[in-house]
Structure 1
Amino acid sequence: MLSLGACNPSPRIEDPTSPDHSFVFGHIDLEELPTEIDYVILRGWEGGEVTEFIRLRLDGGTFYAEYVPRGTYFVSQLGSSHGFMRTTMGTYALPPEASPIWVVVDRPGIYYMGSWRYHPGEANVFSPSEFSLEPVSRPAPGELLQALLPHAEGTAWETRLRSALATPPPPALRANPTSGGPAARSHGAP
Structure 2
Amino acid sequence: MVERVRRLFLLASAACLVACGSGSIGPERDINDPGNSLVFAYVDMSEAPTKIDGASLKPQGEPGYWHMNVAKDGQLLSQPYLPPGSYQMASLEGSGFFAGNNVYSFPTYGRNQTAVRIQKPGIYFMGAYRYAKVKTGMFEAGKFAIERVNSPSEVELLQRLQKEDWVKGTQWEARLRNRIAELGRK
Give the TM-score range, shorter chain: 0.7 to 0.9
**8 A contact 2:32–2:171 mirrored in 1:** no
The one of 159, 168, 176 aligned to 1:153: 168
Q: CA RMSD for the aligned pairs?
A: 2.9
Between the aligned residues of both structures, percent identity stands at: 30
1:40 is displaced (CA, Å) by 1.4
Q: Structure 1: which amino acid aligns with 2:25?
A: S
2:82 alignment counterpart:
68
Per the alignment, do residues 5 and 100 of structure 1 end up closer, same or farther by CA in structure 2, a change over 3 Å counting? Answer: farther
Give the alignment's TM-score, normalised by structure 1: 0.71
Per the alignment, do residues 149 and 15 of structure 1 end up closer, same or farther by CA in structure 2, a change over 3 Å counting? Answer: farther
Mapped to 2, the partners of 1:81 and 1:33 lie a distance apart of: 11
Per the alignment, do residues 25 and 136 of structure 1 end up closer, same or farther by CA in structure 2, a change over 3 Å counting? Answer: same
Mapped to 2, the partners of 1:5 and 1:114 lie a distance apart of: 26
Per the alignment, do residues 5 and 147 of structure 1 end up closer, same or farther by CA in structure 2, a change over 3 Å counting? Answer: farther
The answer as to 2:36 corresponding to 1:24 is: no
The one of 113, 129, 138 aligned to 1:116: 129
Mapped to 2, the partners of 1:18 and 1:116 lie a distance apart of: 29
Mapped to 2, the partners of 1:121 and 1:127 lie a distance apart of: 10
Instruction: Give unmatched runs, 5+ long, in structure 2.
Output: 1-22
Task: Answer 1 or 2: higher relative contact order, Cα 8 Å, separation at least 6.
Answer: 1
Following TM superposition, the consecutive aligned residue runs of length 4 or more in structure 1 with deviations greater than 4 angstroms are none
SS in 1 for 2:177: helix
Q: Which has the higher helix share?
A: 2
Give aligned pairs, total.
155
Instruction: Give unmatched runs, 5+ long, in structure 1.
Output: 7-13, 170-190
**8 A contact 1:76–1:99 mirrored in 2:** no
2:64 alignment counterpart:
52
1:26 is displaced (CA, Å) by 1.3
Give the alignment's TM-score, normalised by structure 2: 0.73
1:178 alignment counterpart:
none
* Structure having the higher Rg: 2
2:3 alignment counterpart:
none
Per the alignment, do residues 146 and 112 of structure 1 end up closer, same or farther by CA in structure 2, a change over 3 Å counting? Answer: same
SS in 2 for 1:80: strand
